[in-house]
A and B are shown apart, each in its own frame.
Chain A
Amino acid sequence: MTTGDATKTLSGALLEGLRHSSWQSRLAVAVVALMLALLLVQAVQDPGQFTSQLLIGLTNGAIIALIALGYTLVYGIIELINFAHGDNFMIGSFVGLTVLSGTLFGLGLFAPISGDSGTIIKVAGVLIALVVAMAACGLLNVGIERIAYKPLRNSPRLAVLITAIGMSFILQNVGLVWKGPAQVPFPDLISSANILPGDAIVFRWKDLFVLAVTIPLLVGLSYFIKNTKQGKAMRAVAQDKEAAAMVGINVNRTISVTFLLGGILAGASGVMYGLFNGITVFNVGFTQGLYAFTAAVLGGIGNLSGAVVGGLLIGIIGSMADQYVGVRWTSIVIFAVLVLVLVFRPTGLLGDRSATQGGGSGRA
């Protein structure tokens, strides 16, 4: 009996919801449902390919999610779209490449690590590259905040955004001078062989590597924000800067820590992107950054789990578009998602910040 009642109230609530929904949201639901139905048809026709594509999407999504977390952390705390964040990611991949080729600061510290090196050297090299890139990007992000954003704390929001765009171009040109205008190859350190037996479903060692780096980082970030004193301070500053300052939280230091965290994640993401795709280029940060921003908005900007969900979704949408629409349309599909989400649901899937009103409670 109780289950029957529950179903009844649930269906009643659904009907009520439908009645109150606007035509836009009905249309949006219809479009999403249509897309899912089309994907389902593809999944039934060739389940192996569909599953492989889904797994590639998840891996790409994990890389995007790490960048998206940087956008969302910074937005959550000072309501700035840190436009230079994507280029920070690019710098991360360049630092990783430089470490792997053994030419950091022009010092021939060790021989270039390539696909022929021993397993231990490969693992150590990748770990060192990750750590150095994370440290470099974290510090770079803090430096950018100190130089370019901090003096504008009380300026109009768009003034800071313009500064961020300027920083983005500066970083991009640093990359251009550093590695030149062409795509630079990454050493092929991680096997592209399939882990799973058979050819039906492809899940490569590369995909496993990305997940094996991403998941500990996400757990660590979550622990830091939920359980440490500094994490608590971050949440407090995000809610209300003035009140946080009143109870003795060092607001400037907290903001710096936020930028540090975002930079660390971007650095890790940059090295993984290079190892995963085998190439990097000076303007990779623009597209990847926009994808990540789309992910952050899709999940609800300022919302950490939203950024991860959004990143995975964007990764899957991208890989599905690669497979079923055509690679050259993928970026259009993702930018269309960006525009549509901002227009129809600016708060994102899980978000709680209003995009059409005067912003969160952070600003008095």
Chain B
Amino acid sequence: MRGVALKRFALPAVLITLAFLFPLLDDGLGLGLMFPIIVIAVYVMLALGLNIVIGFAGLLDLGFVAFYALGAYVMGWLASSHFNQVSFSFLSTAQSLSGGARPGIHISFWIVLLVAGAFTALCGVLIGAPTLRLRGDYLAIVTLGFGEIIPRFFQNGDNLGGFNLTNGTVGIKSIDSPGIPFLPESLSSWQRFGTLDLNPWYYTILVLVLITIFVNIRLRDSRLGRAWVSVREDETAAAAMGINPVTTKLWAYALGAVFGGIAGAFYGAFIKSIFPTSFSFNISILILCMVILGGMGNIYGVILGAIALQGINFYLLPQINGWVHAIGDALGSPLLSGADIPKYNFFIFGIILVLMMLLRPEGIIPNRQRQEELHDDSTGGDALGGTARA
């Protein structure tokens, strides 16, 4: 018993402790990695959200970026001076320079996080309800269609019958910083999150990621989680056993959307300005790549995939770029010394997608059940990992 408990709790406990101590380490060693780590954590959250849809329910969602964008825009709408026609403030720590009432809607970050989650869940249900009847590959294309429509709508939404909803390509700027107003003066960086001290941001996203992991684990082991497995493996048989496939898939879609939305809202507040171009199809593919590289359905795998791919983006590609430039300088080749390797990151992600599907579709750290499904060579099934129906 003790061995099992050790295995089950010791490793997560060590990892969580390390994660909580990371800012001290970063500060002590002067790594300066806080900013990339926070962005990576946002992507871990997104990948875990997409893992519910792809890993658990076996639905391929190519438009996950739509929820990320919706969450970020909810933050932009409810916590910035964008809607300057009105002036409304609720528990917000954002302060006006002149001391008067600030234009725009300013609602507390913590409330907007919840609102963003609820709003994206609603959007997930609205998008999913008519489309989830479709077969797997058609569903993938419909989600891709929505993933394209929503950012383009944000791009064109600066004049909807004269109303400026999204501020077009300029995007929404100077989004309020979150803060905890009731704290004593000594914790001033927590009263209003700043750009100099990133620790409050780090701990916020860490707690959000831990909540996401907890919910992922509980969902996987729940009745709904088992329903997802059965629908994924054989929809007809699941329906015959009294599981409603559409409702089951809708839950996966909506719950995945919640985490995408919350991650987007956090990212909006962290980056402070959001543009429609930051929510392109490439982001959907990047998140998909994280889930597939790490291992569909395996929570550790997905986290590892997110960290690995963003690590490549932030660390490895600039390094390789430096090497290529050095080689180019040594050889006197202007082509190499002027190359911009990070621009080609999606070449690497494309190769990862192809190689993983060809060689190890279950990912680096596989979920055992998915592994067996993906290596069942009987005939092609419908869902990702499902076996064929006769």
- A166 close to B353 (CB less than 8 A): yes
Partner of A173, one of B133, B141, B344, B377: B344
A10 at the interface (CB under 8 A from B): no
Residue of A nearest to B281 (CB): A286
A358 at the interface (CB under 8 A from B): yes
Partner of A356, one of B134, B344, B350: B134
Tell me the smallest distance from the CB of B340 to a CB of chain A, in Å.
9
Contact check, B347 vs A169: say whether CB atoms are below 8 A apart: yes
Q: Tell me which of A131-139, A254-262, A327-335 binds B.
A: A327-335
CA distance A213 to B373 in the complex (A): 47
State in angstroms the CA–CA spacing of A166 and B197 once bound together: 39
Query: In the bound complex, how far is the Cα of B134 from the Cα of A355, in angstroms?
Result: 6
Q: Are A355 and B135 in contact (CB under 8 A)?
A: yes
> Which one, B148, B351, B384, contacts A158 given CB within 8 A?
B384
Within 8 A of A (CB), among B108-144: 130-131, 133-138, 140-142, 144
Output the residue of A170, A172, A181 with the most chain B CB within 10 A: A170
Give chain B residues whose Cβ lies under 8 Å from the Cβ of A331: 148, 152
Q: Which of B288, B350, B382 contacts A168 (CB 8 A)?
A: B350
Instruction: Specify which chain B residues have a CB less than 8 angstroms from the CB of A364 in the assembled complex.
Output: 379, 388, 390
Q: Is B358 an interface residue (CB 8 A)?
A: yes
Residues of A contacting B: mostly? helix
B389 contacts A173, C-beta separation under 8 Å: no
Q: B204 to nearest A CB, angstroms?
A: 33
Q: Are B384 and A156 in contact (CB under 8 A)?
A: yes
Nearest CB in chain B to that of A154: its residue:
B377
Q: Is the CB of A159 within 8 A of B353?
A: no
> Range of interface residues on chain A?
35 or more
Contact partner of A170 (CB less than 8 A), chosen from B138, B351, B382, is: B351
What does the 1/0 interface line of A176-192 toward B look like (CB < 8 Å)?
Answer: 11000100000000000
Would you call A358 and B382 a contact (CB within 8 A)? Answer: yes
Contact between A161 and B137, CB atoms less than 8 A apart = yes
Q: Tell me whether A148 is interfacial, beta carbon within 8 Å.
A: yes
The answer to whether A328 touches B156, judged by C-beta atoms less than 8 angstroms apart, is: yes
Interface readout for B50-71 with A: 1 if CB under 8 Å, 0 if not? 0000000010101000000000
Closest Cβ of chain B to A67, distance in Å, is: 15
| Chain A residues whose C-beta falls within 8 Å of the C-beta of B386 in the assembled complex | 156
- Contact of A152 with B379 at beta-carbon distance under 8 Å, contacts A168-B350, A169-B350 already known: no
Residue A3 at the chain B interface, CB threshold 8 Å: no
**Residues 10-68 of A contacting B (Cβ, < 8 Å):** none
Residues from chain A with Cβ under 8 Å of B136 in the complex = 157-158
Ranked nearest first, the 5 interchain pairs of A and B with the lowest CB-CB distance are A166-B353, A169-B350, A173-B347, A166-B354, A158-B384
